[in-house]
C-alpha cells in the first residue's frame, strides 16, 4: 500500500510516500521537507498566518517533487494521510484541505493523523523496529511527555511538563543568550564545544517522586548566570553545556523512572529534541547499562516531517480506519482519546 503523507501543523511543510509492502526503512520511498525558518526568523518565532500562506505556496510543488523522487504518479497511491492536529489551525487546514481534495479526486481513503502519534511511531519506521508494549519519550517544541504504549494507538500519559516543553526551553534559553531563531539546535551545537561542569544547573523535579517535568525555573537559572557573566564566547559555550547537561540528565532520570513504573526495558524517543546528540548518547548508555533498548528515528525524522505522518496513517489505513470526507482539524487533541489500531 502506497500512502502519501502530508504534514503542515507548524512551520515545516513535509511530504512523503510510505510503501507498506517494503520491510523496514526501505518502506520510505521518498520524503521532502520545506522549512519556513527563514520566513519567520525576522520575527523571532512562528507567525501563524505567514505559516499558513507559505504552506499554500509550497505544498503542491512538494507533492509533485516527492512523487517524482519515488518514481510514482498519483495513480499509484492507495491512501492519503495528513496531520489533523494538534497544531496551528490555519496551517493544519491547508494540509487537510489538500489531502481531502486529493483523496476525493482520486477516490482514495484518507485519514487524519495525530501529530504526536506521528512522532511517537517514527522510530518504528527504521529497521528492526521495537514492538509494543514500550515507553515513549516525546520531546518536541510543544510537548514533553512520557507515554506508556500498550499497543499501537493505545496511549497512557505517565507524565508531562508543567510549563515549558524541552524544545521550548532550548529555544528560549538560546534566545536569551543572543542566538538567532530557532535557537535549540544552535545551542546544542555550542554546547558541543563547552566545558562540562563549569556551570552546574539543577535537575528540576528529580528530587521528588513523579514523572512530570518543569523547565521554566532552569531557564531562569541560566538567564541569571548569563546576565552575571562576562558574556564571552567561551562562557556562552560553557553555560550552553551546563544547560544541555541539566536537561539531558533530567530527561534520562525520568525515562528510567517511567520504564521502572511501566515494568518495561524498551524506550522509544521521538520529537525534535530527540535529534540532540548528548540525549541520544546518554539514553544509549543507560540502556546498555540496564540491558534494555532505546530506539530513535534517524535525526532528520526526529523533527517535523511527512514520513512519520505517511507511516502512522498507513498503519491506520491498513487496519481499515479512515475519516469521512469533511475537512476537519483538531488544533488541541489529547492522544489518549485515539482509537487502538
Ligand atoms: O518536533 P519538532 O520539529 O516540532 C514540534 O512538533 O515542536 O521539534 C522542534 C523542537 C524545537 O524546539 C528545536 O529547538 C528542538 O526541537 N530541537 C533540538 C535539536 N534539534 C531540534 N533541541 C535540542 N537539540 C537539538 N539537536
Ligand atoms: Zn513535531
pLDDT digits (tens, 9 = 90+) for 187-214: 999 999 999 999 999 999 999 999 999 9
Ligand 1 mean position, distance from CA 302 (Å) = 8
Same-domain status, 55 and 176: no
Rounded average pLDDT over 235-252: 98
Q: Which residues line ligand 1 (CB under 6 A)?
A: 140-142, 167-168, 170-171, 182, 184-185, 188, 271-273, 275-276, 303-304
Closest residue CA from atom 24 of ligand 1: 276
User: Is residue 182 over pLDDT 90?
Assistant: no
Q: Considering the chain, what is the average pLDDT of its residues?
A: 97
**In the chain, how many H helices and how many E strands?**
10, 10
Is 127 part of a structural domain of the chain?
no
Is 169 part of a structural domain of the chain?
yes
Residue from 4, 12, 1 nearest 100 by CA = 4
User: Is residue 315 over pLDDT 90?
Assistant: yes
For residue 262, name the pLDDT band (cuts at 50, 70, 90). Answer: very high
Ligand 1 mean position, distance from CA 167 (Å) = 5
Amino acid 132: pLDDT? 97
The number of the ligand nearest the C-alpha atom of 309 reads 2
Instruction: For a ligand 1 pocket test, name from 303, 308, 335 the mutation site with the most ligand atoms within 8 angstroms of its C-beta.
Output: 303
The residues near 41 (Cβ < 8 Å, ≥ 6 apart) are 180, 181
Is 61 part of a structural domain of the chain?
yes
Same-domain status, 321 and 258: no
Residues with CB in 5 Å of ion ligand 2:
140, 304
Amino acid 89: pLDDT? 98
Query: Total structural domains in the chain?
Result: 2
Rounded average pLDDT over 143-163: 98
Same-domain status, 79 and 139: no
Q: Print the domain residue range for 87.
A: 2-122+301-337
Ligand 2 mean position, distance from CA 4 (Å) = 18
Same-domain status, 165 and 212: yes
For residue 284, name the pLDDT band (cuts at 50, 70, 90). Answer: very high
Same-domain status, 112 and 137: no
For residue 24, name the pLDDT band (cuts at 50, 70, 90). Answer: confident
Rounded average pLDDT over 301-330: 97
Same-domain status, 217 and 320: no
Is 233 part of a structural domain of the chain?
yes
Rounded average pLDDT over 306-323: 98
Rounded average pLDDT over 289-317: 97
Q: Map 256-288 to HEC letters.
A: HHHHHHHCCCEEEEECHHHHCHHHHHHHHHHHH
Instruction: For a ligand 1 pocket test, name from 9, 45, 165, 184 the mutation site with the most ligand atoms within 8 angstroms of its C-beta.
Output: 184
Same-domain status, 106 and 141: no
Same-domain status, 19 and 90: yes
Ligand 2 mean position, distance from CA 167 (Å) = 10
Amino acid 181: pLDDT? 85
Same-domain status, 107 and 136: no
Same-domain status, 167 and 233: yes
Query: 125 — alpha (psi -120 to 50), left (phi > 0) or beta?
Result: alpha
Ligand 2 mean position, distance from CA 229 (Å) = 34
User: Is residue 240 over pLDDT 90?
Assistant: yes
Same-domain status, 323 and 234: no
Instruction: For a ligand 1 pocket test, name from 7, 164, 270, 273 the mutation site with the most ligand atoms within 8 angstroms of its C-beta.
Output: 273
Ligand 1 mean position, distance from CA 145 (Å) = 14
CATH number assigned to the domain comprising residue 234? 3.30.420.40
Tell me the torsion sign for CA atoms 259, 263, 265, 271: negative
Same-domain status, 330 and 262: no
Q: How do residues 96-137 score in pLDDT, each as one tens digit?
A: 999 999 999 999 999 999 999 999 999 999 999 999 999 999
For residue 70, name the pLDDT band (cuts at 50, 70, 90). Answer: very high
Amino acid at each position: 500500500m502506497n500512502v502519501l503523507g502530508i504534514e503542515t501543523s507548524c512551520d515545516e511543510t513535509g511530504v512523503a510516500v510510505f510503501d507498506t509492502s517494503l520491510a523496514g526503512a526501505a518502506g520510505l520511498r521518498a520524503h521532502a521537507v520545506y522549512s519556513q525558518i527563514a520566513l519567520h526568523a525576522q520575527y523571532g518565532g512562528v507567525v501563524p498566518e505567514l505559516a499558513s500562506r507559505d504552506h499554500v505556496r509550497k505544498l503542491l510543488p512538494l507533492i509533485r517533487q516527492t512523487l517524482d523522487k519515488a518514481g510514482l504518479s498519483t495513480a499509484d497511491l492507495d491512501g492519503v494521510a495528513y496531520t489533523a492536529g494538534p497544531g496551528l489551525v490555519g496551517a493544519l487546514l491547508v494540509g487537510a484541505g489538500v489531502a481531502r481534495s486529493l483523496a476525493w479526486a482520486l477516490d482514495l481513503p484518507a485519514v487524519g493523523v495525530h501529530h504526536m502519534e506521528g512522532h511517537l511511531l517514527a522510530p518504528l519506521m527504521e529497521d528492526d523496529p521495537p514492538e509494543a508494549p514500550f515507553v515513549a519519550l516525546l520531546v518536541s517544541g510543544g510537548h514533553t511527555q512520557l507515554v506508556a504504549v500498550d499497543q499501537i494507538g493505545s496511549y497512557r500519559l505517565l507524565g508531562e511538563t508543567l510549563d515549558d516543553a524541552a524544545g521550548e526551553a532550548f529555544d528560549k534559553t538560546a534566545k536569551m543568550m543572543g542566538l538567532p531563531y530557532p535557537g535549540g539546535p544552535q545551542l546544542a551545537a555550542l554546547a558541543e564545544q563547552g566545558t562540562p561542569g563549569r556551570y552546574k544547573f539543577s535537575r528540576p523535579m528529580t528530587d521528588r517522586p513523579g514523572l512530570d517535568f518543569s523547565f521554566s525555573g532552569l531557564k531562569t537559572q541560566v538567564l541569571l548566570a548569563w546576565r552575571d557573566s562576562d558574556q564571552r564566547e567561551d562562557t556562552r559555550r560553557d553555560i550552553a553545556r551546563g544547560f544541555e547537561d541539566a536537561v539531558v540528565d533530567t530527561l534520562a532520570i525520568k525515562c528510567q523512572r517511567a520504564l521502572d513504573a511501566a515494568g518495561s526495558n524498551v524506550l522509544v524517543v521521538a520529537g525534535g529534541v530527540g535529534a540532540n546528540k548528548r540525549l541520544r548518547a546518554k539514553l544509549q548508555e543507560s540502556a546498555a547499562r540496564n540491558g534494555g533498548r532505546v530506539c530513535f528515528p534517524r535525526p532528520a525524522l526526529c523533527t517535523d516531517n511527512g514520513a512519520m505522518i505517511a507511516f502512522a496513517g498507513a498503519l491506520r489505513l491498513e487496519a481499515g480506519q479512515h475519516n469521512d470526507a469533511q475537512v476537519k482539524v483538531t488544533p488541541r487533541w489529547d492522544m489518549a482519546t485515539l482509537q487502538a489500531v
